[in-house]
Chains A and B, each alone.
Chain A
Amino acid sequence: MTTTNSVLNMEIMQSIIARYPRKRSAIMPLLHYVQSVSGFVTNEGIELIATLLEIETAEVSAVSTFYTQYKRSATGEYHIGVCTNTLCAIMGGDVILASLKEHLGIENDGVTADGKVSLEHIECNAACDYAPVVMANWEFYDNQTVESAKALVDGARAGNPPAPTRGPNRLVTFKEASAVLAGLDDGLAEEGIQAGIPTLLGLKLAKEGK
């Protein structure tokens, strides 16, 4: 084992495994956990997961390469996803993605030289009534424009990104978000709004008797 594993906390990994009736089921949260420590899925992380779950490293690699959210190289501290599935693309997602590529000087799946921002075109993120949608570390940035998306990445590069539109009061880093996706509590669940305007539209109209 190399030094990377010195920061992988065995107690946390064992607690993740203990959630499940059969330990192999823990492979996905463990991969999210490795990303929360290393920023991507490292070979060392794969080896440790294989050891803990008593399976081959090839089996862990097979799983990690199947799922898009597991990265095999470092993402930016702020990983930006622009929805370019049909509806968001047509309503402005394509223009937003193109302008961010130019603004940041990187291509799809690229990372800025300062390591702050990575960019990826993403598929439908279940927020179509807020289109066009941009995700940062998988937090919602609703109703985006070219200007607001540029402000998001500029803020991220300056270490001061705007807060998500439906999310906590501050944008957490990619590693911090990965810990949440490993099922760990970061204490931010009660921050932010419960719903945006589109979510509440039908209820509002019903209350108005319409």
Chain B
Amino acid sequence: MSKLTPVLSAHWDQKDSFTIDAYKRNGGYAAAVKALAMDPDALIQLVKDSGLRGRGGAGFPTGMKWGFIPQGDNKEHYLVVNADESEPGTCKDMPLLMANPHVLVEGVIIAAYAIRAKHAFIYIRGEVTHVVRRLNKAIADAYKAGYLGKNVFGTGHDIDLVLHIGAGAYICGEETALLDSLEGFRGQPRLRPPFPAIAGLYARPTVVNNVESIAAVPAIVANGAEWYQSMGTEKSKGATLYSLSGHVNNPGQFEAPLGITLREILELAGGIRNGHQLKFWTPGGSSTPLFTAEHLDVPLDYEGVAAAGSMLGTKALQIFDETTCVVRAVLRWTEFYKHESCGKCTPCREGTWWLVQILRDLEEGKGSEADLAKLLDLCDNIMGRSFCALGDGATSPITSSIKYFRDEYIAHVTGAGCPFDAAKSTLFAEAK
């Protein structure tokens, strides 16, 4: 039997999979009808019972998040879907929305009804023109079919869904920065508490969920909490999308129960590119501490990855072979964090700037061994002292790479710069 469990990806191989006709042909929107006939509290309980946890990186239980919304408060409630997928290595939500935008629309209808929200928003990153087209068309078609708008499915409930398109700021993936951005301000994170469940969009109770979390809901409603519970591990239930990229023979999306290992996924993907060996990898994007070949058998669930010293994150498995200079890789990620730092807090704004200076010197052979201590000291002053998780994430590649590859940093100091030939890491080198 296959180790893979396509649920979200089950119909992606149908050429018209993104259309409302195809989605309905495959059973789509039946879960919404079922959900709208249920009590909203029972729906929240169902999602709690399923064990579904946030797929945007943090892994917070989705049903619990919904349950935090105060009921009977006579205030507007909002549902906001985070489709700002920008964490380096993360590439699951965009192909999902390109191939099947309706599963998200159906998830939105169910979730909005459950938390008693009449207004929902999808905040999608702006650098994906065709994904925006597909999603906007799906929303328009759902309105035409009477699944959105006034009196959805003839049930008397009103649910409006607005697609909000970003403009290129990684920080807007942080949920409170996303809310500021959606309100029409610069996307900078807010002080918490109050949490969005109490004072979110327009200071009203708001649920912010990742695309994959909301897209998982229709199947849970259709098949039940027990079915979802039957996949995964003790505390990490269900199936999820693992995105494999980098120096492998066959990169791609693998939907599997939580707890699968990189060794198993690599076997399915035909292994590391021929003639090369695994050097380091990220389990869930660049903000999750690096792993090496010694972590091939770590169960890729929330607990397993944390116990091994990293985070499951977005399950973005970026694979680098032995041709890759870890200092170059880490420098480039650090440049990214510096560019994307919103500037609100000093540790992140100034810290990422200094990290780049030091790493650049090291990569160019102008550093010293003392720079390693300085890097770690700076990371110590950023981690846990920044306003939001962007600063924490910026330290992950640095501290983990120094932990596993200290000698390689030293080699940049004692030799005359970078000992690697960058050309050998390219795919073009492989083709020749």
CB-CB nearest in chain A for B139: A183
Tell me whether B274 is interfacial, beta carbon within 8 Å. no
Residues of chain B within 8 A of A70, CB atoms compared: 167
Mark the stretch among B219-227, B249-257, B361-369, B371-379 that contacts chain A.
B249-257
CB-based contact B428/A126 at 8 Å: no
Residues of chain B within 8 A of A123, CB atoms compared: 86, 88, 170, 336, 339-340
A87-B245 contact, Cβ under 8 Å, with A92-B426, A128-B316, A209-B1: yes
CB-CB nearest in chain B for A85: B88
Give Cα A202–Cα B166 distance, bound, in whole angstroms.
30
A92-B137 contact, Cβ under 8 Å, with A27-B184, A84-B332, A183-B165: no
A128 to chain B: closest CB distance in Å?
4
CB-based contact A181/B132 at 8 Å: yes
CB-CB nearest in chain B for A24: B184
Q: Please, what's the 1-or-0 string for A189-206, where 1 marks a CB less than 8 Å from any CB in chain B?
A: 110111111111111111
A166-B130 contact, Cβ under 8 Å, with A25-B183, A28-B164, A86-B88: yes
Tell me whether B425 is interfacial, beta carbon within 8 Å. yes
Q: Please, what's the 1-or-0 string for B72-104, where 1 marks a CB less than 8 Å from any CB in chain A?
A: 000010000000011111110111001100000
CB-based contact B245/A69 at 8 Å: no
Q: Please, what's the 1-or-0 string for B157-169, where 1 marks a CB less than 8 Å from any CB in chain A?
A: 0000011111111
- Tell me the residues in window 332-354 of chain B with beta carbons closer than 8 Å to chain A beta carbons: 332-333, 336, 339-340, 342
* Count of chain A residues with a beta carbon within 8 Å of a chain B beta carbon: 82
CB-based contact A131/B165 at 8 Å: no
CB-based contact A129/B243 at 8 Å: yes
Which residue in A26, A66, A128 is a CB contact (below 8 Å) of B246? A128
CB-based contact A194/B99 at 8 Å: yes
Which residue in A188, A190, A197, A203 is a CB contact (below 8 Å) of B6? A203
Tell me whether B292 is interfacial, beta carbon within 8 Å. no
Residues of chain A within 8 A of B422, CB atoms compared: 90, 94
Tell me whether A45 is interfacial, beta carbon within 8 Å. no
A198-B253 contact, Cβ under 8 Å, with A67-B166, A90-B328, A129-B245: yes
Tell me whether B181 is interfacial, beta carbon within 8 Å. yes
Q: Please, what's the 1-or-0 string for A113-130, where 1 marks a CB less than 8 Å from any CB in chain B?
A: 000000000111111111
Q: Please, what's the 1-or-0 string for B1-13, where 1 marks a CB less than 8 Å from any CB in chain A?
A: 1111110011011
CB-based contact A20/B162 at 8 Å: yes
B149 to chain A: closest CB distance in Å?
13
- Tell me the residues in window 155-199 of chain A with beta carbons closer than 8 Å to chain B beta carbons: 164, 166-168, 172, 177, 180-183, 185-186, 188-190, 192-199
CB-based contact B286/A139 at 8 Å: no
* Count of chain B residues with a beta carbon within 8 Å of a chain A beta carbon: 93
- Tell me the residues in window 94-122 of chain B with beta carbons closer than 8 Å to chain A beta carbons: 94-95, 98-99, 119
CB-based contact A189/B134 at 8 Å: yes
Which residue in B129, B247, B269 is a CB contact (below 8 Å) of A138? B129
Tell me whether B45 is interfacial, beta carbon within 8 Å. no
Residues of chain B within 8 A of A185, CB atoms compared: 133, 136-137, 140
CB-based contact A181/B126 at 8 Å: yes
CB-CB nearest in chain A for B265: A202
A127-B16 contact, Cβ under 8 Å, with A195-B99, A202-B256: no
Give Cα A204–Cα B126 distance, bound, in whole angstroms.
30
CB-based contact A164/B130 at 8 Å: yes
CB-based contact B129/A180 at 8 Å: yes
CB-based contact B166/A28 at 8 Å: yes
B205 to chain A: closest CB distance in Å?
14
CB-CB nearest in chain A for B4: A206
B161 to chain A: closest CB distance in Å?
10
Residues of chain A within 8 A of B17, CB atoms compared: 194-195
Tell me whether A68 is interfacial, beta carbon within 8 Å. yes
Which residue in B12, B162, B329, B425 is a CB contact (below 8 Å) of A203? B12
Tell me whether A63 is interfacial, beta carbon within 8 Å. yes
Residues of chain A within 8 A of B10, CB atoms compared: 203
Which residue in B136, B245, B342 is a CB contact (below 8 Å) of A183? B136
B320 to chain A: closest CB distance in Å?
7
Tell me whether A53 is interfacial, beta carbon within 8 Å. yes
Residues of chain A within 8 A of B423, CB atoms compared: 95
CB-based contact A90/B12 at 8 Å: no
B191 to chain A: closest CB distance in Å?
19
Give Cα A27–Cα B87 distance, bound, in whole angstroms.
25
Residue in A91, A166, A180, A182 with the greatest tally of chain B CB atoms within 10 Å: A91
Q: Please, what's the 1-or-0 string for B30-66, where 1 marks a CB less than 8 Å from any CB in chain A?
A: 0000000000000000000000000000000000000
A126-B166 contact, Cβ under 8 Å, with A189-B134, A194-B14, A201-B250: no
Tell me whether B297 is interfacial, beta carbon within 8 Å. no
Which residue in B87, B125, B255 is a CB contact (below 8 Å) of A202? B255
- Chain A to chain B: the 4 pairs with minimum beta-carbon distance, closest first: A201-B252, A67-B167, A198-B252, A24-B184
Q: A26-B184, A194-B98 are in contact. List 11 more A-B contacts (CB 8 A).
A: A63-B185, A87-B245, A123-B88, A127-B91, A128-B318, A138-B127, A166-B98, A168-B130, A189-B130, A194-B99, A201-B269
Q: Could you list some 8 contacts between A and B, CB below 8 A?
A: A123-B339, A126-B85, A126-B91, A128-B91, A188-B130, A201-B254, A202-B254, A210-B268
Taking Cβ atoms with an 8 Å cutoff, the residues of A that contact B are: 19-22, 24-29, 31-32, 53, 62-63, 66-70, 81, 84-87, 89-92, 94-95, 122-132, 135, 137-140, 145-146, 164, 166-168, 172, 177, 180-183, 185-186, 188-190, 192-206, 208-210
Taking Cβ atoms with an 8 Å cutoff, the residues of B that contact A are: 1-6, 9-10, 12-19, 76, 85-91, 93-95, 98-99, 119, 125-130, 132-134, 136-137, 140, 162-170, 181-187, 202, 242-247, 250-256, 268-269, 286, 316, 318, 320, 324, 328-329, 332-333, 336, 339-340, 342, 422-423, 425-428
